[in-house]
Amino acid sequence: MLAARRVPRIARSFATVADSVGYKVAAVDANQPTSSVTFLVKAGSRFETKPGAAHVLKNFSFKSSAFRSALGTIRQSELYGGVLSASLGREHLALTAEFLRGDEEFFVQLLAEYVQSAKFTRHEFQEYVTPVVEAESTQASSDPAVYAVELAHALAFRNGLGSSLFATPHSPLTVEDVSAFAKNAFTRENIAVLGTGIDQGTLSELVQRFSGAAKSTGTASSTSASSYFGGETRLQAHGGPETVFIGFGTTGAPSPDLAAFSAYLSPTPSIKWSQGLSPIASAIPAGTSVQSVYLPYSDASLFGLLVQGPSGASVKEAGKVAVQALKAAAQGLSKEDAAKAAAKAKFAAASAIEGRDSFINVLGSKVLAGSDASVNAVLEPFASVTAASVSKAASSLVSAKPTFVAVGDIASLPYADELGL
């Protein structure tokens, strides 16, 4: 007979927020064998002082600091089996270290040293940073979907949120420009420290120990409030699918009604290989795709449908279907459709919290803003979603000036008015 044994109970702690030497610190621990720490900086493209500065700063991540060289950072991280990465959004720059549980002391120290004493050397800028920036910008401009969304932001918001995530190839930026931007961004008021697989108290203690030299300005980075404008543009491109973005923008805090509206229109089925119940799914031509896009920010959101296909004619047909679905939803949804959309949007939000990267994206901005970063704060708003509230949000959207982008063979791609906008 097998001897009975005691199985340790695995407890999970959810994100709580504490203040440590001016940094906001939050951690969630599911007792997994790996951990991560992210320094989330208010240094997205929205806040850049010169076009492209945020993109270049992202690619300067983990280069030389006053404490160690870029090569030393790589070698020491590899000795621990860790992975370092940086990602850029329109509002935040995320510097992340992933590592085996128990190695948090080294990696918190490494991240803290970088944001406090990055050197921004000229030779690293010319030899390592600039080639990567140019390659990423070229890659983005050759992807019709990425290019269309970038152009849509510029049309919708112009400045601020309209600033591109990518520097232009052969940008006139200098290393001094990037250093000045970083100096203003890497302050205590602009940084939140987020951990997964690590105890809140442990993370706070490590941040306090290694962040004594962090600068403070007394105020966080800020820009003017976002305004929505809209517009239409067409770009000739070759080598990719014909692409159209049909979008609308709104200002104010993110709305659960818009998230539900996006879920309602999304043709992505809940079961693989099935068609799904979206009003768009059954009417689009074969070989053509329609993707629902909802991008919420702190004071504005961009909502739209990305249509791609092998020809301008197929994109036009699918675009008409998409616009008809938008307008029909603005006239009213059934209670059943609204309930399904709210459940689908709530599930997507709940699933996002569980993933490491999505946890940073969903809760990180709340931590940095000092707002409630609990799971309930993310999910409770969906309880108020009704058929009337979704239809009202949709009606408000479609009554505004649209944001329309066409990328590809512009001789065959439709204009906005040809789709019913």
Lowest mean pLDDT among 141-145, 195-199, 226-230, 373-377: 373-377
Q: Say which residue the tokens 């990602």 belong to.
A: 87
9 pLDDT tier (thresholds 50, 70, 90): very low
d(CA 203, CA 209): 10
Please give the single-letter amino acid code of residue 129. V
With 90 as the cut, is the pLDDT of residue 359 above it? Answer: no
Question: 34 near 99, Cβ under 8 Å?
Answer: yes
Separate counts of helices (H) and strands (E) for the chain: 14, 11
For residue range 379-395, what is the model confidence (pLDDT) as tens digits? 899 999 999 999 999 99
- Cα dihedral 67, 71, 75, 76, rounded to 10, equals 10
What are the backbone angles phi and psi of residue 111, rounded to the nearest 5°? -65, -45
Indicate the pLDDT class of residue 250, thresholds 50, 70 and 90: very high
- Domains of the chain, by residue range, sit at 13-212, 231-419
| H or E stretch at 320 | helix 312-331
Would you state the pLDDT for residue 218?
53
User: Among candidates 47, 21, 26, which has minimal Cα distance to 36?
Assistant: 26
What's the burial of 393, exposed, middle or buried (CB within 10 Å: 0-12/13-18/19+)?
buried
- pLDDT bin (cut points 50, 70, 90) of residue 11 is very low
pLDDT band at 371 (very low <50, low <70, confident <90, very high): confident
Return the H-helix or E-strand segment holding 48.
Answer: none
pLDDT confidence tier of residue 83, bands split at 50, 70 and 90: very high
Q: Give the integer Cα–Cα distance in Å for 245 and 299.
A: 22
Residues 157 and 249 sit within 8 Å (Cβ to Cβ)? yes
CATH class entry, domain 13-212? alpha beta
> Helix, strand or coil for residue 317?
helix
Which element (helix H / strand E) includes 284? none
Q: Which residues contact 365 (CB under 8 A, 6 or more apart)?
A: 40, 91, 92, 298
Q: What is the pLDDT of residues 275-308, one digit of tens each?
A: 677 889 888 888 899 999 999 999 999 999 999 9
Residue 374 DSSP code: S
Which two structure tokens, joined as six digits, stand for 257? 């009604």
pLDDT (tens digit, 9 = 90+) per residue, 196-243?
Answer: 999 989 999 999 998 865 666 656 677 889 999 999 999 999 888 999
Contact (Cβ atoms closer than 8 angstroms) between residue 394 and residue 328: no
**Cβ atoms of residues 308 and 289 within 8 Å:** yes
* Inter-residue contact 55 to 138 (CB < 8 Å): no
Q: Tell me what pLDDT residue 10 has.
A: 42
Query: What is the end-to-end Cα distance of the chain in Å, rounded?
Result: 74
What is the phi/psi pair of residue 241, to 5°? Answer: -65, 150
Least confident interval from 12-16, 187-191, 335-339: 12-16
Per CATH, 13-212 and 231-419 having the same topology is answered yes
Fold of 231-419: Cytochrome Bc1 Complex; Chain A, domain 1 (3.30.830)
Q: Is pLDDT at 21 greater than 80 in this prediction?
A: no
Look over the chain and give the mean of its residue pLDDT values, rounded to a whole number: 89
Question: Residue 324 has what pLDDT?
Answer: 94
